[in-house]
Amino acid sequence: MSSSSSALPISSPELTVALSAVLRASLATTQIFKTIPSSLTKSDKSPVTLGDFAAQAIVNTLIAKYFPDDGIVAEEEASALREDEQLRGKVGELVKMALEKDEQSLTGTKESELPSGSKKWSAEDWEQSDRFLSALDRGNFNGGPSGRFWALDPIDGTKGFLRGGQYAICLALVENGEPILACMACPNLPYAVSDEKPKEGDRSGVRGDGSVFIAVKGKGAFHRSIAPPSAAFEPIKMNSLSGGLSSASFCESVEAGHSSQGTNARIAELLGISSPPVRMDSQAKYASVARGDGDIYLRLPVGDGSYVEKIWDHAAGALLCEEAGGSVSDCSGKRLDFGKGRTLSANKGVVVALKGRHTEVVEAVKKALIEEGRGNLLGEQK
Ligand SMILES: Nc1ncnc2c1ncn2[C@@H]1O[C@H](COP(=O)(O)OS(=O)(=O)O)[C@@H](OP(=O)(O)O)[C@H]1O
Ligand SMILES: [Mg+2]
Ligand SMILES: [Mg+2]
Ligand SMILES: [Mg+2]
């Protein structure tokens, strides 16, 4: 049952565990970030690193321990590690290091404030074997419209991670097709304005501390510095845009192949926005907009829109923005449906803006897509 946690502004056993999980995963990824991580290429030609594997194994181990009945829809799977003993050994060491870290010195939560967990998934047990491989493979759940499950992107923005840019560990609890809890660690996103972002390619990490974000449906969104553990969570809100939409700044992907940067430029023009877009890897875009570092996040499909977005790329970020006063939809204005399985198959593209300004932004999106002859991406609402 709910036990009040000194470290968190909202009392929830799921949130207490989620925070522990993403902060432990970020210990592992921060350590690897300092080296040039080697990467493997997956069947869809996208990269995966030992950071992605370790982070997923860490988060899944903790979910399996505290909520053994919950399914997990996560990006990675263990087959490449089963075939590569050396890589498996390195991932195992990182998982062990992160799971053994003292709870209070990491999250600020006393061990006794965690829910009682299943003994089966304790650190001593997996240490004896390659148990973390089966933890990793627990991410194969198919999701769906009813009941609850977790959505995990162990490293979102793997290309950013490899480049020395932004990346995020993104965990959400989804219930009946909607994210109800989110926890996102952005180790390279400075918490304090005075902290300097790492320059592209500089692998020493952020000067100061990265940021961790949480949100619970109906209870608001918050952020704090990743360290020290005693740092308090502060509420976050999107900018009120009192100067009108023309004063807005918008965020988009770094990779031109992931969203349509040309269409975004036309939308900015239609809205009277003259400032250039801020390009950033990963769901750090959602987090930045949620706390007012930017105002609009546009992720419009490229080409014929055949790419189908994955739920783990959006679940945590979408809740953060909604709880910070935003609306999140696809390019036709429809809510994102996280109950369709592992993908957002009912949606095309993502548009995030302040609630009272969102309709105006979607109208500009529709106009730009129709002008380009891509009105078919708007479905029936064309
Ligand atoms: N073609 C295409 N279209 C849209 N999205 C795609 C595409 N290919 C990959 N992906 C997913 O993009 C995720 C990274 O998104 P980002 O916004 O971080 O992209 S970018 O690096 O800033 O461009 C990335 O997530 P990670 O694999 O977790 O990094 C992918 O799931
Ligand atoms: Mg991703
Ligand atoms: Mg990923
Ligand atoms: Mg990936």
Number of domains in the chain: 2
In a domain, 337, yes or no: yes
Structural contact between residues 253 and 259, judged by C-beta atoms closer than 8 angstroms: yes
- Same domain for 45 and 109? yes
CB contact at 8 A, 288 and 294: yes
Residue range(s) defining the domain that contains residue 287 = 245-377
**358-381 mean pLDDT:** 93
Judge whether 66 and 117 are in contact, CB under 8 Å. Answer: yes
pLDDT tens profile 159-197 = 999 988 899 999 999 999 999 999 999 999 999 766 666
The answer to whether residue 4 scores a pLDDT higher than 80 is no
Residues 309 and 192 in one domain: no
Structural domain contains residue 1: no
State residue 245's pLDDT score.
95
For ligand 1, say whether the CB of 253 is within 6 Å of any of its atoms: yes
The CATH code of the domain that includes 92 is 3.30.540.10
How far is ligand 1, taken at its centre, from the CA of residue 157, in Å?
6
Q: Is 282 in the pocket of ligand 1 (CB under 6 A)?
A: yes
Mutation pick for ligand 1 pocket among 255, 263, 310 (CB with most ligand atoms within 8 Å): 255
- Average pLDDT for 125-144: 86
Q: How confident is the model at residue 118 (pLDDT cuts 50, 70, 90)?
A: confident
Do 252 and 231 fall within a single domain? no
Distances (CA, A) of 183 to 46, 107, 186, 331: 24, 13, 10, 25
137 is in an annotated binding site: no
Same domain, 107 and 134: yes
pTM for the whole thing?
Answer: 0.95
Residue 313 labelled as part of a binding site: yes
Looking at this predicted complex, what is its ipTM?
0.96
- Last-in-domain residue among 202, 235, 268: 235
Query: 130: annotated binding-site residue?
Result: no
Say if 206 falls within a structural domain: yes
Q: What is the pLDDT of residue 210?
A: 93
The token pair that represents 258 in the structure block: 């992931």
Q: Are residues 169 and 275 in the same domain?
A: no
**Assigned domain for 382 exists:** no
Average pLDDT over residues 221-226: 96
d(CA 143, CA 147): 9
Instruction: Tell me the pLDDT tens digit for each residue of 324-348.
Output: 999 999 999 999 999 999 999 999 9
CB-CB neighbours of 2 under 10 Å: 11
Is the same domain home to 226 and 287?
A: no
> What is the CATH number for 304?
3.40.190.80
pLDDT of residue 306: 95
Residue 3: inside a domain = no
Domain contains 62: yes
By percentage, how much of the chain surpasses pLDDT 90? 83
Residue at a domain's end among 182, 202, 235: 235
Is the same domain home to 217 and 112? yes
Nearest ligand to residue 157 Cα: 1
Compute the average pLDDT of residues 5-34: 92
- Kindly state whether residue 90 falls inside one of the protein's structural domains: yes
How far lies 288's CA from each of 250, 272, 295, 297, in Å?
Answer: 10, 21, 8, 9
CA nearest to 182, candidates 3, 24, 14: 14
| Same-domain pairing of 251 and 109 | no
Q: What is the pLDDT of residues 268-279, one digit of tens each?
A: 999 999 999 999
Going from the Cα of 159 to the center of ligand 4, the distance in angstroms, rounded, reads 8
* Same domain flag for 292 and 175: no
CA angle, corner 49, sides to 144 and 350, nearest 5?
A: 45
Report pLDDT for 381.
43
Using 50, 70 and 90 to split pLDDT, how confident is the model at 208? Answer: low
Would you please indicate which residues are annotated as catalytic (active-site) residues?
Answer: 52, 158
Residues 17 and 148 in one domain: yes
Mean pLDDT of 369-376: 96
Residues 145, 31 within the same domain: yes
Last residue of a domain, one of 235, 262, 279: 235
Q: Quick one: pLDDT at residue 3? A: 41
Give the residue, by CA position, lying nearest to ligand 1 atom 16.
282
Band of pLDDT at residue 382, cut at 50, 70 and 90: very low
Across the chain, mean pLDDT equals 92
Residue 4 lies in a domain: no
361 & 273 share domain: yes
Span 75-92, mean pLDDT?
Answer: 93
Q: Tell me what percent of the residues of the chain surpass a pLDDT of 70.
A: 91
